[in-house]
Structure 1
């Protein structure tokens, strides 16, 4: 069940609207994530999830779902930006699916384009992503608790033939759909395996340089399509894998 603590801010037109070149795509809304402390990491996961450490995350807003194909196609049509890998593959072209095959550089270009159209957007940091994914469930494995919910296709077992629609299933405590499942979501940070050993306590943004960009969440191509909230992943920012997409974030625009 969704708690009443979050605020939903509509973006106007929905992702199912006809695609034209004279408008900005919309996803359905952002939710406000209140400022607060979280404990990042896990003692039961991989080495780059350690040590457990407490961080403060300022209030921010994050999209209720990943960027859809419909929304991303407006960007492609308007700018002539190169299409993602396997863009025309039928299994990746169903209504309501997330835009996949998108590199980190592509995702940032989309954010910059949206910002020039008056819709400030960026990728969330790892700390922001984990804060949003955990909701009110500090210490739980998944955004919904310690077990994979029944609505997850095939019980979370993969690989599947493609990603499921971004609004499928139940949201987490903050009203976010699909977070930690379905696709890897790009984050703003560079990834470093030892960053948690030196992470600042206030609004960490990752190391200043690196080779791979951070990502979070499970993916439809994996043996398990849902990841633990603390699980970290990374990829070269130029790679366009078909289980990679992204979710928008932005600074707080509305008072809580």
Structure 2
């Protein structure tokens, strides 16, 4: 089975979202319910994205000539709009997928364990390159390392992963407790997780980031979700 066709089941449940130890945008910690969903075990790879490009004629991502030579790496240099186009293409091929919400992403990253700092516990694991940077100064193979308790590889460490939500720094103060989907509008889209550029500084489960949805950065990729 191709890497991009492997999903893990994230069970429904309550979890404690946010952190009282981090910046104000991560507060307050609040209890959130997330319905069960499937989440890709790996971020979208260059192999899968190449199929999309060939089939759709969509504009290639930033630095694609280099990226396409390392197929076991996650695709990067994609905007939020590019991710949405990829999801629409997958749906047209009979495999509907979507970007996760921030709440779904954090629920999945925590692996069902409230209070831990990282997806792997409270310490940076030995398999993350020293300083967070890989030897090639590029994304790592998507299979590098050990999975979190839900079986997800590389979450919070390899690439920043786009989320579906608009971003608001004060959203947690007014967030719904049942399946929150982010603000109704905004300027930037939310993203989660660390990247090969700074895996350690942004790898906390609760860490939030945001970006103009049209930007294409070489440490930004995405992971897809689906409902059964």
Tell me the TM-score normalized by structure 2: 0.95
Match of 1:48 in 2: 25
How far does the alpha carbon of each residue in 1:71-129 deviate from its partner, in whole angstroms, 9 at most, with x for none? 00000011110010111236x74230000000000001100110011101000000000
Q: Which one has a larger percent helix, Structure 1 or Structure 2?
A: 2
Answering whether residue 36 of structure 2 is matched by residue 59 of structure 1, we say yes
Q: 2:10 aligns with which of 26, 33, 58?
A: 33
Q: What displacement does 1:160 show?
A: 6.0
Mapped partners of 2:87, 2:201: distance in 1 = 26
Match of 2:166 in 1: 190
Answering whether residue 197 of structure 2 is matched by residue 221 of structure 1, we say yes
How far does the alpha carbon of each residue in 1:114-171 deviate from its partner, in whole angstroms, 9 at most, with x for none? 0011101000000000000001321000001000111112263579610101111100
Q: 1:132 aligns with which of 97, 105, 108?
A: 108
Cα 1:65–1:225 change in 2 (3 A) is farther
Match of 1:103 in 2: 79
Answering whether residue 2 of structure 2 is matched by residue 14 of structure 1, we say yes
Q: What displacement does 1:220 show?
A: 1.2
| Structural mapping, 1:157-176, within 5 Å | 161-176=137-152
Q: CA RMSD in A?
A: 1.7
Cα 1:238–1:46 change in 2 (3 A) is same
Answering whether residue 119 of structure 2 is matched by residue 143 of structure 1, we say yes
- Contact 1:63/1:176 (8 A) holds in 2: yes
Q: In the comparison of the two structures, how many residue pairs are matched?
A: 228
- Contact 1:35/1:58 (8 A) holds in 2: yes
- Contact 2:160/2:195 (8 A) holds in 1: yes
Give unmatched runs, 5+ long, in structure 1.
1-12, 16-26
SS of corresponding position for 1:89: helix
- Contact 1:162/1:220 (8 A) holds in 2: yes
Mapped partners of 1:134, 1:247: distance in 2 = 16
Mapped partners of 2:136, 2:206: distance in 1 = 23
